[in-house]
Amino acid sequence: MSIRVVATNRKAYHDYFIDETYEAGIALRGSEIKSVRAGRVSLKEAFVRIDDNLEAWLIGAHIAPYDQASHFNHDPKRPRKLLLHKSEILRLWNKVRQKGVTIIPLRMYLKDGKAKVEIALVRGKKKYDKRAEIARRELEREIERELRRRR
């Protein structure tokens, strides 16, 4: 089982508290999977929406057009269907109805040749939460430096 990470959403851990994570398949067209394999993906502004038919869609993910596809190319920002079990979609939908909870992609990777997306239920951090996280990290670094210096 080989996993190759293609894209990560680095800002997600800074901007959100991650509650739960799920692995979802993603329905791609031919030129899209070629761009994914080339690593030309951005998840910066992407999020997941669940529609009335209980289908999950990845919105705002940018998969660059594949140069060799000519006029058969895809729209880089088109919504892409996520492949999840109905029970998982229902669980996500019930959680998202709560105030302040949303679903975002954390990373996209290739697992045994198939494109997968790791999505997460998240709650937004406030500015003071972000500052506290930075201060905690700085303190840990300083303690680690001091411990190394004393050895």
- C-alpha to C-alpha distance for 75 and 82, rounded to whole angstroms: 17
Contact 114, 25 (CB under 8 A): yes
Element (DSSP H or E) covering residue 115:
strand 114-124
The residues facing 3 across adjacent strands are 111
pTM of the model: 0.80
Fold type of domain 3-125: Small Protein B; Chain: A; (2.40.280)
Tens-digit pLDDT string for the chain (151 aa) = 688 999 999 888 888 999 999 999 999 888 888 888 988 899 999 999 999 889 999 999 998 888 776 677 777 788 999 999 999 999 999 999 888 899 999 999 999 989 999 999 999 888 888 898 889 999 999 999 999 988 7
Render pLDDT for 100-134 as a digit per residue (tens, 0 to 9): 899 999 999 999 989 999 999 999 888 888 898 88
Cβ contacts of 115 within 8 Å, gap of 6 or more: 6, 25, 26, 28, 33, 36, 108, 109
